[in-house]
Amino acid sequence: MNELERHVEKLFRHQPDTPETQELREEILSNLQAKREDLLAQGMDERAATEAAKRDIPSVDGLIDDQQTTNVERYRMACAQTVWLHCILFWIGTLPLLFTGYGWLGTVGLGLSVLSGVGYLLFWLLHPVMQGTRSLAGARRRKSMAWRIWGVFYAVAALSVAAMTFGSNLWYGTPVTIEGPYQWAVMASRFYVPLLTVLIPLTVSRFAALLPQYRVEG
Amino acid sequence: MKQKNVRIFLLMLVTFLVYWFLNYGVVAELQLRRSIYEHAQTSAYFHNIQEILPYRSPYLGDASNTGNLFYHLPLHQYPMTFAIEPETCTLTVHYDTAAETTEQVRENLAYNTLAAMAAIDNLQCIQYEFQDGTYCITRQQVEKRFDVPLSALLDDTEQWEKATQHEIFLGTVLAEWFPMEIDTPCSSDSQQV
Amino acid sequence: MEEQTIHSDLIRGHIDAILLRILRDGDHYGYGLMKQVLTLSDGQYELKEPSLYTSLKRLEKQGSIESYWGDESQGGRRKYYRITPQGRAQYDEALAQWQWAKEIITKLLGGNDR
């Protein structure tokens, strides 16, 4: 029984947790269990029966209605709130850099936080009531694309920093010497600054996670 | 939603306070200390001799090393140019200012001379050119003041401080090394002093 | 099985009507429907889960069938389906259409000559 449960779990892993998917999950599980029982009664051994049941439904693509009727206005407000919060988190992330040559990023953080806060406030004041459909799979696609792009970006950034910092050591075969905490801090900050951009894929991820919360029933 | 908004706003406020404190408090404090330190480095009495230790060299030949050396000594705040005469191991330092109007110029020159000759072993003679005249000082003149080789003076920085960075020492060598009339350029005569 | 694949393509368009026929005689849950299809076809056609769910969803959306949950003592709860009056009408229509089409196509393909 547990193996079938795990199989269904795996099928629904990337699906949003809505009442609809919950029901489908239960229905599929009960049907797979019934099939397994049936095969066992016909004389098949446990292993083969379980496998046969699992084979019957390899994925749930196409079974789940992807289009969600959404309260677009409130969804957008939630997104705007997320952007505001993430700008503040970015700003907090720049605070340790105030002691390094990247201190100006703190001012950038201040500007972004204020701007996004004002933007959110404006949204609050002018909210037009709006409903529409949004694709859940679309949101999920944007999320994974954002993460992939960021992954490539950071890998490139980190490699460039490493090349810049240790390149001449590698080329001439000299050992890397780091004299004192100040040098450590400078080196660490070079890797840390591009890392702050992780807030971008995090924001896109949050957008995808928020969408199911704003579905309109009926 | 509303409660979350309040919390986010408070977070922003706290971040702002921390930012303000760090930026205009701590950072400003650090910058102030740094500028005080840098100002002190322009005076022979407060100079931190450790700054020039990386530029010690047995030979005068390396122009960039010499430049770095003098850049970390008093009077570096004035534009400088250098000329090296390898035959006589003479270094000419041209300061783009008038010696008359420069504060404590003779004390600083005395200090710089001692530091430079202690740092560069084969430096025999230094010629300081100003807009209003030239000084010359030889190694022999300087060595007469000490029982030990000049480079040994740099081995113990505490000793250096005690021996050189005070009125008594600098005051007495002034008269001898840098007389009031500032037109004694280096010539073959002065090298025999 | 080559033969089965060809049949599947031909039958696929009628799955809705087939399910309605089975439900006409009584309520069933998912796996029960699949078993019935296998039995009624004398073991020659096996309805796969994906097609079953897609079809059930479509029929329910159209209002031709209704679903309700049964309580089972072990395992998960089962979703049962029952036909609605609209479903019965839809079935009658589909059957009539099929019989008409069957007649014409047989004529066109020259089946009567054999």
Structural domains in chain A (count) = 2
Domain residue extents for chain C: 2-113
Q: What are φ and ψ of residue A8, in 5° steps?
A: -65, -40
Residues A33 and A103 in one domain: no
- The pLDDT, as a whole number, for residue B100 is 83
Structure tokens of C70? 């049964």
Judge whether A134 lies within some domain: yes
Helices assigned H by DSSP within A173-217: 180-195, 199-210
Is A213 a residue whose pLDDT tops 70? yes
Residues of A whose CB is below 8 A from C34: 31, 35
Instruction: List subunits contacting chain C, requiring 3 or more Cβ pairs under 8 Å.
Output: A
Q: Mean pLDDT over all residues of chain C?
A: 86
Q: Which of C48, C49, C77 sits opposite A30 (nearest CB)?
A: C77
- Is there a single domain that holds both residue A83 and residue A132? yes
**What is the pLDDT at residue B143?**
87
pLDDT digits (tens, 9 = 90+) for B16-56: 999 999 888 887 888 888 899 888 888 888 888 888 888 88
In this complex, does chain A touch chain C, defined as having at least 3 beta-carbon pairs under 8 Å apart?
A: yes
* Residue A86 and residue A145 in one domain: yes
**Nearest CB to B15: which of A81, A84, A92?**
A92
- CA dist A98 and C28 (Å) reads 69
Q: In terms of domains, do A38 and A115 share one?
A: no
Q: Which residues 42-81 of C are in CB contact (within 8 Å) with A?
A: 48-50, 53-54, 57, 72, 75-79
More confident residue, B152 or A180: B152
Report which DSSP code applies to B183.
Answer: B
Q: DSSP label at A68?
A: E
Is the model's pLDDT at B192 over the cut of 50? no
**What are the residues facing A68 on neighbouring strands?**
A134
Rounded to whole angstroms, the maximal C-alpha distance in chain A is: 76
How long a stretch of residues is chain A? 218
Contact list in C for residue A63 (CB cut-off 8 A) is: 50, 53-54, 57
Angle of helix C30-40 relative to helix C49-62, nearest 10 degrees, comes to 110
Contacts of the segment C71-77: beta carbons below 8 A, 24+ positions apart: C72/A30, C75/A1, C75/A29, C75/A30, C75/A33, C76/A26, C76/A27, C76/A29, C76/A30, C76/A33, C77/A26, C77/A30
Chain A residues touching residue C77 (CB < 8 angstroms): 26, 30
Residue A61: CB atoms within 10 Å: 11
Residue A163 lies in a domain: yes
Q: Which domain holds residue A23?
A: 2-56
pLDDT value at residue B191: 45
With respect to residue A61, please indicate whether it lies within any of the assigned structural domains: no
Whether the per-residue pLDDT at B189 is higher than 50: the answer is no
Token pair of C73 as six digits: 């003592």
* Same domain (yes/no): A113, A175: yes
Q: Residue A50 domain-assigned? A: yes
Whether B and C touch, i.e. at least 3 CB pairs below 8 A, reads as no
Tell me, what's the pLDDT at A91? 95
A&B contacts, CB < 8 Å:
41
Flag whether A62 is in a domain.
no
The residue count of chain B comes to: 193
**Could you give the residue ranges of the DSSP H alpha helices within chain A?**
2-11, 19-41, 46-56, 72-94, 104-125, 136-172, 180-195, 199-210
Burial per residue of A10-19, b for 16 or more beta-carbon CB atoms within 10 angstroms, e otherwise: ebbeebbebe
In Å, what is the CA distance from A46 to each residue of A35, C30, C46? 12, 22, 22
Per residue in A126-181, pLDDT (tens digit) is 877 777 888 887 888 899 999 999 999 999 999 998 888 888 777 777 777 777 77
User: Residue A105 is encoded by which pair of tokens?
Assistant: 């990023």
Q: Are residues A179 and A93 in the same domain?
A: yes
Report the pLDDT averaged over residues A22-42.
Answer: 89
Cβ neighbors of A160 (< 8 A, separation 6 or more) are none
Domain co-membership, A44 together with A76: no
Q: Domain C2-113 class?
A: mainly alpha
* ipTM reported for the complex, 2 dp: 0.82
Task: Identify whether residues A76 and A159 lie together within a single domain.
Answer: yes
Flag whether pLDDT at C75 surpasses 80. no
A34 and A99, same domain (yes or no): no
User: Judging by DSSP bridges, how do beta strands B90-95 and B125-130 pair with one another?
Assistant: parallel
Q: Which of A9-23, A78-92, A188-202 has the lowest mean pLDDT?
A: A9-23
Same domain, A23 and A122: no
Whether residues A15 and A121 fall in one domain: no
